[in-house]
């Protein structure tokens, strides 16, 4: 399973990349706003750190405007993955951008039928938003399961990028179902390492080691 980090915070990306935890990055207009930077500059900085796909989202909603923005974003770096919304114009743009040989992430997916359309448009990644479904009282993981089944039934190559991941349990569930990628905020990725028994065990080992009076090396 690939780990993408869902942020436009360059320092956080650098820190996680140094840990070997970053296979790619996803941004969106809200994350660019939070970063306080300009999309072209922030995306370039991220692409200089990370060699995997870096999703940068178009802001236009009409096909020809989306294509103009996609072309501008594609010029930033070779690993920019163009993110388009799950609309008819977005799907048309997906097909066109893919035929130019670029990566496309189709975002804001909330149903299995939407994911089916994205696969048929040749999307590189489909981004079902787990947390936002959970917020509405719908189990977002059921959507990941449905898409996995549908894609496997027909051999679609589109990768399932479980998005809007909010908890460590989301990461585990997505992995059990077989999502290809998760994208999660830095804090969630870092929280994966935590277990109280690890802390307790380490504390005991360190205390006992001190009693031996030994040093290593």
Catalytic residues: 83
Compute how many other C-beta atoms are within 10 angstroms of the C-beta atom of residue 165: 25
For residue 158, state whether it binds ligand E4P (rule: CB under 6 A): no
Give min distance, CB of 34 to ligand E4P, in A: 10
For residue 114, state whether it binds ligand E4P (rule: CB under 6 A): no
For residue 26, state whether it binds ligand E4P (rule: CB under 6 A): yes
Count of residues in contact with ligand E4P, rule CB under 6 A: 11
Closest to ligand E4P by CB, 53 vs 122, is: 53
For residue 98, state whether it binds ligand E4P (rule: CB under 6 A): no
Give min distance, CB of 6 to ligand E4P, in A: 5
Give min distance, CB of 63 to ligand E4P, in A: 21
Element of type H or E holding 4: strand 2-6
Nearest residue to 92 via CA among 66, 58, 55: 66
Nearest residue to 170 via CA among 142, 199, 211: 142
Nearest residue to 111 via CA among 151, 80, 142: 142
Compute how many other C-beta atoms are within 10 angstroms of the C-beta atom of residue 100: 12
Closest to ligand E4P by CB, 64 vs 133, is: 133
3-state SS assignment for residue 180: coil
The residues of the shown chain that bind ligand E4P, judged by CB under 6 A, are 6, 26, 28, 107, 127, 129, 131-132, 163-164, 183
């Amino acid at each position: 399973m690939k780990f993408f980090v869902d942020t436009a915070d360059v320092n956080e990306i650098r820190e996680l990349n140094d840990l070997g935890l970053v296979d790619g990055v996803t941004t969106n207009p809200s994350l660019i706003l939070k970063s306080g930077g300009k999309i072209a500059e922030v995306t370039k900085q991220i692409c200089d750190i990370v060699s995997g796909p870096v999703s940068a989202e178009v802001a236009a909603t009409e096909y020809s405007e989306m294509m103009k923005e996609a072309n501008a974003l594609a010029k930033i770096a070779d690993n920019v993955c163009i993110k388009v919304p799950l609309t008819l114009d977005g799907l048309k743009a997906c097909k066109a951008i893919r035929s130019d040989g670029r990566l496309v992430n189709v975002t804001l997916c909330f149903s299995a039928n939407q994911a089916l359309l994205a696969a048929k448009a040749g999307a590189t990644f489909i981004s079902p938003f787990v947390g936002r479904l959970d917020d509405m009282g719908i189990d977002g993981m059921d959507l990941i399961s449905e898409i996995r089944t549908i894609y496997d039934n027909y051999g679609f190559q589109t990768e399932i990028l479980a998005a809007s991941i909010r908890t460590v349990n989301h990461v585990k569930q997505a992995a059990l179902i077989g999502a290809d990628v998760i994208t999660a905020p830095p804090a969630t990725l870092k929280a994966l390492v935590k277990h109280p028994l690890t802390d307790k065990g380490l504390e005991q080992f360190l205390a006992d080691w001190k009693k031996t009076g030994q040093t290593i090396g």
